[in-house]
Chain A
Amino acid sequence: MNYLPFLLEIGTEEIPDWMIDSARDELRRGFETLTKDYAISGAITVDATPRRLVLRVPGIVESTPEMTSVTSGPYKSAGAGAAAGFAKKWGTTVDQLGFQPTPKGEQYLFTKRTQGLATSAYLARELPNLILKIQWPKTMVWNGKGTERFIRPIRWLVALLGDAVVPFEIGGVKSGNTTVGHRVLGKPLIPVTIQNFDSQLRANGVILSADERRDKIEAGITARIKPDPDLLHTLVYITEFPTPILGSFDPSYLDLPQEVLVTVMRHHQKYLSVEDGEGKLAPHFIAVMNTSADPDGLVRSGNERVLRARFNDARFFWDQDQKKKLEDRLEDLKKVTFQAKLGSYYEKTQRVVALTKELGGNERAALLCKCDLTTDMVKEFTDLQGIVGGLYARAQGEPEEVAKAIYDHYKPLSMEDEIPSTEAGRIVSLADKWDTLVECFKVGMSPTGSRDPFGLRRAAQGMVRIIVEGRVKFDFPGMSSELSEFMRDRVEYYFRDVRGFAYDEIRACMAARWTDLIDLEARLKRVQEVRRTPDFEPIAASFKRIKNILKQAQFSDSSFHAHLLEPGPELDLYNAMRSTDNLPLESRIGPLRTKVDLFFDKVLVNAPDPDIRRNRLALLQNLLTEFSTIADFSEIVTERQS
């Protein structure tokens, strides 16, 4: 078989950086599926810059092999009609059919030959579909209503199998063997071969490999930077030829809060922050250009000027904002929408204050926590909500506890983020998040599938962490059944995926009760511990059995009469239960286990006398109830089951 190298380049206008990784994976997977009948040597790779997706295959077979398949038909003895019918079915005539001898006489045969399909023709037919079916978060049309959709307009296509162009067309763009260089550093029309593709692009200002672009950025950074992998990833994918430059700002801006400076640099300007030897913010930044050099220093001075204007804005906002204290901004919250269906932040604040009071938290912090939403600083730098409120509270002489609580109350913003550092902060954070959840669920704005536009999962997850890790008493007051279901899921997720408890342990403990998460965590630890003891598995199996018996009998009465108990295993079990009454679960399992086993061995629960039968069921019900305060052990998956 003859193998040829293949190259596909989809040339576009600038694709948003955060979409590129998944598109790249999807293109590779799509191509693998497309060519599953074609032998491939070497690994399929996809490289990407903001303006191109490039898929390469070291070798793909030139065509699929010719295939023959033989189908047997009627016997000759069946007559001419049958033979003609068979021939017709296969689109041929009787004289074209073959024969084979069989014990029953000669049988007609049809041999079907399928030509090998040339890879080039196959790809030419399939590539447009492969390209256009890449999933993007948001697509557009550029050739007019009803035409092809893509993330941004496709402007050129390179498709080469060996030396030959694989011909196809998308939206008026024909595939060929010319690529396009960097917007400023390169030429617009560059003839390429598979062999010289990388070098031609490089000569025209494009570094195709993302890893190489990352290396180039890292190698060019001359200062000590705050590590920021996410920002670095963005910079790699908004450039075709990245070059870092070091800029500076006036040290007097370091008077502004570090949070503000970093936000301006990172989120608004995509600059990496620079630290001094002690890890403190230094008056420098790293900007990454999408070009090779800054010969006259214009790019550096331009970026410095932009940053100066931004910092001046921030200073201006700070000074302006101090003219009106947080407290005096409460009234203004009446004009700030919380959610269209849920009224203003003023109303939300009232609810959060009430809840904070119930929880014994700092009401002052709750009262002021949303006031920064009306400040110029937060209107401009929305990521700084809460943080700005905390800084202003401190500057305006509020107690440190209040300032810190406001500062922290949006935390944790992610699974990795820290929870609020003070008790007051944790309570305000809980009250705020719980109010959002309750209110959103009330008006039907609950998350569906992967959609969660109001960030309710994150809020719920944050609450779980604050309660458990911050040791705050909270029992989820006034939950609807829908919200209860939702919170249960988040609690399960936390203990399973974050804390690593076994799924059945969580189910068992939550079946007993779950809204006191600190208590739940304690029970989980006990169950996890006791599970390692040899008596545990058998008793868990017994509990499963008890539950089934009670279920089948549809029995839930727990009143029983000690005088009806038969001496022997039944009474023994009862006595063991009573004598271990005051012991913790861990110490009861051992003594009870043998009694339970013996009971099931020797005693017929379904006794003929209905009173005795009822009494035995009630005994079991009591046993189950006593243990169920810790966990529903029947939920534990035992060896015998698995």
Chain B
Amino acid sequence: MSGGLTFQETVLRLKQYWSDRGCIIQEPYDVEVGAGTMAPETFLRVLGPDPYRVAYVQPSRRPADGRYGENPNRLYKHQQLQVILKPSPADVIDLYLGSLTAIGIDLGKHDIKFEEDNWEAPTLGAWGIGWQVMLDGLEISQFTYFQQCGGFDLDLIPAELTYGLERIVAFLQNVDSVYDIVWAPGFLYKDVRLKDEQQFSKYNFELADVDMLWQLFALHEKECQRLTKLAGVVLPAYDQVLKCSHIFNLLDSRGAISVTERVGVIGRVRRLALGVAGAWMAEIGATKNEAVA
């Protein structure tokens, strides 16, 4: 490492920065997700008319991206720092640039560009408009103005900032492999996470029991459908969506989903997500009406 903050110091500074700007600092969501967007702190909180500001690190699992710890830039599980500013303030880009300064990037000595990159997650009925943020030619963040989520047009438009932490820190520490990042003084990224990558790559690609996964998918799907019909259990219902989504990703990395099945399975997850979003909206509406009455 030649200069640059440690991995954990970078995380701490970003959390402090966003805390100072009115964000709730949440801990990672404790169900497997593919991206910070899927945590309920984003997926559900962006719905409805209530302002919200939150920041959290979300370990994001993408089984098919695993490379047994052998590729210097690709991980089965990477860490995203996710920020939601709802509604987005007019100076949101300046705030974002300020956060880069906070982690030691002197903007006067670097090249920052915002290049078009719109975001879409069909399984979540969600899309937004935005950019990838390029620092000296490296994509370091995704910046998205959410437009729709769970199939609903959003009342307030949130800005979602997603920092790819491994990339940013590897860049600032001037190392060519994420595994050589200094996580904490005396500990490298590989000391902390390499086993994780090796073992889960083996499991995800070779060992996960396909029959069991299909059964689990069906069970969680059924549970989600049951819960969505009941009052006051939207959050447990949403956990079931996340389970299904992750199992889908596992099946995919096992190569167990045929072409013809694929569209159908994505559709099943999407229906669950839209159902939960609808239930959440109904619940918000009900709370509002109670407050009025």
Residue B116 interfacial (CB < 8 Å): yes
Task: Select one of A144, A183, A306, A316 contacting B137, CB under 8 A.
Answer: A306
Residue A362 interfacial (CB < 8 Å): no
B259–A334 touching, CB < 8 Å: yes
| A271-B257 Cα distance, complex, nearest whole Å | 38
A142-B145, A155-B90, A335-B255 known; A299 vs B113 contact (CB < 8 Å): no
Minimum distance in angstroms from B269 CB to a CB of chain A: 16
Minimum distance in angstroms from B150 CB to a CB of chain A: 14
Stretch at the interface among A62-70, A287-295, A616-624, A631-639: A287-295
Residue B171 interfacial (CB < 8 Å): yes
Residue A84 interfacial (CB < 8 Å): no
B71–A316 touching, CB < 8 Å: yes
Residue A132 interfacial (CB < 8 Å): no
| A591-B93 Cα distance, complex, nearest whole Å | 82
B112–A290 touching, CB < 8 Å: yes
| Chain A 328-345 near chain B by CB (<8 Å), digits 1 or 0 | 000000111100100110
Residue A184 interfacial (CB < 8 Å): yes
Give B139's nearest chain A residue, CB to CB.
A306
A306–B131 touching, CB < 8 Å: no
A309–B73 touching, CB < 8 Å: yes
Give B153's nearest chain A residue, CB to CB.
A145
| Chain B 84-102 near chain A by CB (<8 Å), digits 1 or 0 | 0001101001100100000
Residue B226 interfacial (CB < 8 Å): no
What are the residues of chain A within 8 A of B155 when measuring CB–CB? 144-145
Task: Select one of B71, B136, B257 contacting A302, CB under 8 A.
Answer: B136
Residue B138 interfacial (CB < 8 Å): yes
Residue B12 interfacial (CB < 8 Å): no
| A87-B156 Cα distance, complex, nearest whole Å | 54
A302-B137, A309-B72, A316-B71 known; A142 vs B111 contact (CB < 8 Å): no
What are the residues of chain B within 8 A of A340 when measuring CB–CB? 263
| A144-B147 Cα distance, complex, nearest whole Å | 9
| Chain A 389-400 near chain B by CB (<8 Å), digits 1 or 0 | 000000000000
Minimum distance in angstroms from A633 CB to a CB of chain B: 52
Residue B176 interfacial (CB < 8 Å): yes
A303–B136 touching, CB < 8 Å: yes
Residue B114 interfacial (CB < 8 Å): yes
A306-B136, A309-B72, A336-B259 known; A298 vs B110 contact (CB < 8 Å): yes
| Interface residue ranges of A301-360 to B (CB < 8 Å) | 302-303, 305-309, 312-313, 316, 334-337, 340, 343-344
A299–B111 touching, CB < 8 Å: yes
Residue A369 interfacial (CB < 8 Å): no
Residue B115 interfacial (CB < 8 Å): yes
What are the residues of chain B within 8 A of A336 when measuring CB–CB? 259
| Interface residue ranges of B52-80 to A (CB < 8 Å) | 71-73
| A86-B115 Cα distance, complex, nearest whole Å | 65
What are the residues of chain B within 8 A of A334 when measuring CB–CB? 258-259
A141-B157, A343-B260 known; A290 vs B174 contact (CB < 8 Å): no
What are the residues of chain B within 8 A of A312 when measuring CB–CB? 72, 176
| Interface residue ranges of B247-262 to A (CB < 8 Å) | 255, 257-260, 262
Residue B118 interfacial (CB < 8 Å): yes
What are the residues of chain B within 8 A of A141 when measuring CB–CB? 147, 157
Interface size counted on chain B using CB atoms at 8 A: 43
Task: Select one of A144, A152, A302 contacting B129, CB under 8 A.
Answer: A152
| A13-B131 Cα distance, complex, nearest whole Å | 10
Give A16's nearest chain B residue, CB to CB.
B116
A299–B114 touching, CB < 8 Å: no
A13–B93 touching, CB < 8 Å: yes
Residue B108 interfacial (CB < 8 Å): yes
Give B175's nearest chain A residue, CB to CB.
A305
A14–B114 touching, CB < 8 Å: yes
Residue B154 interfacial (CB < 8 Å): yes
| A312-B258 Cα distance, complex, nearest whole Å | 32
Residue B109 interfacial (CB < 8 Å): yes
**Residue of A145, A238, A269, A294 with most chain B CB atoms under a 10 A cut-off:** A145
| A77-B107 Cα distance, complex, nearest whole Å | 86
Minimum distance in angstroms from B106 CB to a CB of chain A: 8
Minimum distance in angstroms from B233 CB to a CB of chain A: 27
Residue A415 interfacial (CB < 8 Å): no
What are the residues of chain B within 8 A of A269 when measuring CB–CB? 137
Residue A104 interfacial (CB < 8 Å): no
| Interface residue ranges of B195-221 to A (CB < 8 Å) | none
Give A341's nearest chain B residue, CB to CB.
B263
Minimum distance in angstroms from A564 CB to a CB of chain B: 68
Q: How large is the interface on A (under 10, 10 to 19, 20 to 34, 35 or more residues)?
A: 35 or more
| A349-B87 Cα distance, complex, nearest whole Å | 50
What are the residues of chain B within 8 A of A344 when measuring CB–CB? 259
Task: Select one of B109, B115, B157 contacting A296, CB under 8 A.
Answer: B109
| A239-B115 Cα distance, complex, nearest whole Å | 10
A302-B135, A303-B137 known; A337 vs B259 contact (CB < 8 Å): yes
Residue A143 interfacial (CB < 8 Å): yes
**Residue of B71, B109, B153, B255 with most chain A CB atoms under a 10 A cut-off:** B109
B145–A289 touching, CB < 8 Å: no
B112–A138 touching, CB < 8 Å: no
Give B105's nearest chain A residue, CB to CB.
A298
| A184-B176 Cα distance, complex, nearest whole Å | 28
Minimum distance in angstroms from B118 CB to a CB of chain A: 7
| Interface residue ranges of B122-161 to A (CB < 8 Å) | 129, 131, 135-138, 145, 147, 153-157
A144-B87, A305-B174 known; A138 vs B129 contact (CB < 8 Å): yes
**Residue of B88, B115, B137, B262 with most chain A CB atoms under a 10 A cut-off:** B137
Residue A39 interfacial (CB < 8 Å): no
What are the residues of chain B within 8 A of A231 when measuring CB–CB? none
Task: Select one of B112, B135, B156, B263 contacting A183, CB under 8 A.
Answer: B112
Task: Select one of B88, B137, B154, B171 contacting A287, CB under 8 A.
Answer: B137
A306–B138 touching, CB < 8 Å: yes
| A291-B129 Cα distance, complex, nearest whole Å | 25
Task: Select one of A14, A144, A287 contacting B131, CB under 8 A.
Answer: A14
B157–A142 touching, CB < 8 Å: yes
| A441-B135 Cα distance, complex, nearest whole Å | 45
Give A295's nearest chain B residue, CB to CB.
B109
Task: Select one of A155, A184, A303 contacting B112, CB under 8 A.
Answer: A184
A143-B157, A144-B155, A184-B107 known; A138 vs B138 contact (CB < 8 Å): no
Residue A140 interfacial (CB < 8 Å): yes
| A313-B178 Cα distance, complex, nearest whole Å | 13
| A239-B134 Cα distance, complex, nearest whole Å | 12
| A336-B257 Cα distance, complex, nearest whole Å | 10
Give B97's nearest chain A residue, CB to CB.
A183
Task: Select one of B71, B87, B114, B154 contacting A13, CB under 8 A.
Answer: B114
Contact sample, A vs B, 21 pairs, CB 8 Å cutoff: A14-B114, A14-B115, A14-B131, A140-B145, A142-B145, A145-B156, A152-B129, A153-B145, A184-B112, A287-B111, A287-B137, A289-B111, A291-B110, A291-B111, A298-B136, A299-B111, A302-B110, A306-B136, A334-B259, A335-B255, A337-B259
Contact surface of A with B, Cβ cutoff 8 Å? 13-14, 16-17, 50, 138, 140-145, 152-153, 155, 183-184, 188, 238-239, 269, 271, 287, 289-291, 294-296, 298-299, 302-303, 305-309, 312-313, 316, 334-337, 340, 343-344
Q: Which 6 A-B pairs have the closest CB atoms?
A: A302-B136, A16-B116, A14-B114, A303-B137, A289-B111, A140-B129
Given contacts A141-B147, A155-B90, A299-B111, 10 further A-B contacts (CB under 8 A): A14-B131, A142-B157, A144-B154, A145-B154, A239-B113, A298-B136, A302-B111, A309-B176, A313-B71, A313-B73
